[in-house]
Structure 1
Amino acid sequence: GAYVANLGDDWEALYGAKRSASTRKRERRQLRQLAQHGDVRFVELQGGCEEDSERTRTLTTLFDQKSQAFARMGVDDPFLHPGHRAFFLGVASDPGLRGVIHISRLDVGQEIAAAAVGLKFRDCYYLILSSYGDGELARCGPGRAHLHELLQHA
Structure 2
Amino acid sequence: MKRFFMKLHGLFLKIALFPSSLGRKGVRPAASEVLTCHLLQRNLPPWTSYVVHYSSVLNDQFGRSNFNWRVQDSNYHILRTGCFPFIKYHCTKAPPQNLHFEDNFFTMLKVINLGIPCLAYGIGCWMVVGAEETVQTSCGPVTVYFAYKEDEGAQF
TM-score range, shorter chain: under 0.3
Instruction: Decide which structure has greater helix share.
Output: 1
